[in-house]
């Protein structure tokens, strides 16, 4: 069976470290790996709008020696009602990997169940794991990180402020503790992370030395944090939902005052809305590394694809068990 990357905990701590080390290598030599030489084709599918994901995957696949086949939902039969299973059965006979930016997590899990090639989550409503790999790479670049060898990112801390119930918060929880980091989520009580994801993060943290904090106090979250991170207050598909007014999230805006409490770097997955989730002087200031972060989508995703293609027969029951356990906990919550 192929290895898939559907959520952040599909990589073990050791595997995540391997991918991040390769990402740092590729950032220094963009053509060091050519696993798609041929060229082999990778399908890159979009059910949602995209800039960074589209450009980074298309460019990265080409730099790996492959041919990116970009498919928009409106131009495919999947967008007209063909089942995920039928689409996958066709694609998996023709391409070397499938990358999909879609809606519910259950869609990409169904695709993976039918695929005989790696499937990569380029964003779902529940998780955004490729972004977190890029963010961890960025933190490593700017704070020493993997250059310190076995210590990797362990012991460092990240504080995420804003909507704690969105895909970014969930992925920071899982990906951050997998790296052994102290992950702090500051959000309104009405927008806290899925309890099942928090429980899974705490389970991983117990084995990696990481830690989890969910709070409604942004000052508590950012105090001494290695990195302060935020995201837009309204994610795609949430426009017009109740409880998403500026009054709900205003206390969680990343300001110069909060950055001073941290003393760390600032990240944002973009697009950013200055004066809302982040003050202009922060994102445009000296602590901001958002442009390096955006570039690292390219390097991290190239590393991930290379790693997945080099580990075709290492799918383990542990990953499936973790998915079932978390999904079951969510349904019971």
Catalytic residue among 4, 297, 319, 323: 297
Sign of CA dihedral 210, 213, 218, 221: negative
> By C-alpha distance, which of 234, 236, 241 is closest to 277?
234
Catalytic residue among 16, 105, 131, 253: 131
Catalytic residue among 137, 269, 299, 301: 269
Catalytic residue among 184, 231, 319, 323: 231
Annotated catalytic residue 4:
no
- Pair 217, 186: CB distance under 8 Å: yes
- 13-28 and 195-208 helices, crossing angle to 10°: 80
Residue 176, φ and ψ in degrees, nearest 5: -65, -45
Annotated catalytic residue 184:
no
Annotated catalytic residue 297:
yes
Catalytic residue among 101, 156, 200, 299: 101
Annotated catalytic residue 128:
yes
Task: Name the H helices within the chain.
Answer: 13-28, 52-63, 84-91, 105-114, 129-143, 167-178, 195-208, 218-222, 246-249, 256-262, 280-283, 290-310, 317-332
Annotated catalytic residue 101:
yes
Tokens 């445009």 belong to 284
Catalytic residue among 4, 128, 184, 323: 128
**Residues involved in catalysis:** 101, 128, 131, 231, 269, 297
């Amino acid at each position: 069976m192929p290895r898939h990357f559907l959520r952040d905990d599909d990589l073990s701590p050791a595997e995540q470290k391997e991918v991040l080390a390769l990402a740092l290598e590729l950032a220094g030599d963009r053509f060091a790996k050519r696993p798609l030489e041929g060229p082999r084709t990778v399908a890159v599918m979009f059910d949602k709008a995209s800039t960074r994901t589209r450009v980074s995957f298309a460019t990265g696949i080409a730099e790996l020696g492959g041919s990116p086949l970009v498919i928009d939902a409106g131009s495919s039969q999947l967008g007209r009602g063909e089942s995920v299973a039928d689409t996958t059965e066709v694609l998996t006979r023709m391409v070397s990997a499938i990358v999909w930016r879609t809606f519910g997590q259950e869609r990409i899990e169904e695709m993976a169940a039918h695929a005989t090639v790696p499937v990569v989550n380029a964003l779902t409503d529940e998780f955004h794991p490729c972004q977190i790999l890029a963010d961890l790479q960025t933190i490593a670049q700017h704070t020493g990180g993997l250059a310190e060898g076995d210590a990797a990112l362990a012991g460092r801390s990240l504080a995420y402020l804003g909507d704690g119930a969105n895909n970014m918060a969930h992925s920071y929880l899982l990906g951050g503790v997998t790296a052994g980091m102290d992950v702090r989520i500051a959000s309104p009580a009405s927008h806290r992370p899925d309890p099942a994801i928090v429980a899974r993060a705490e389970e991983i943290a117990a084995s990696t030395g990481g830690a989890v904090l969910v709070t409604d106090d942004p000052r508590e979250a950012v105090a001494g944090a290695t990195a302060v991170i935020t995201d837009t207050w309204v994610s795609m598909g949430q426009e017009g939902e109740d409880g998403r007014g500026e009054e709900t999230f205003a206390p969680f805006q990343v300001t110069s005052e909060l950055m001073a409490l941290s003393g760390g770097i600032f990240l944002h997955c973009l697009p950013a809305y200055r004066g809302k989730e982040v003050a202009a002087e922060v994102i445009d200031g000296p602590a901001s590394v958002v442009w390096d972060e955006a570039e690292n989508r390219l390097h991290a995703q190239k590393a991930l694809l290379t790693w997945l293609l080099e580990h075709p027969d290492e799918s383990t029951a542990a990953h499936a068990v973790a998915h079932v356990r978390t999904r079951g906990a969510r349904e019971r919550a």
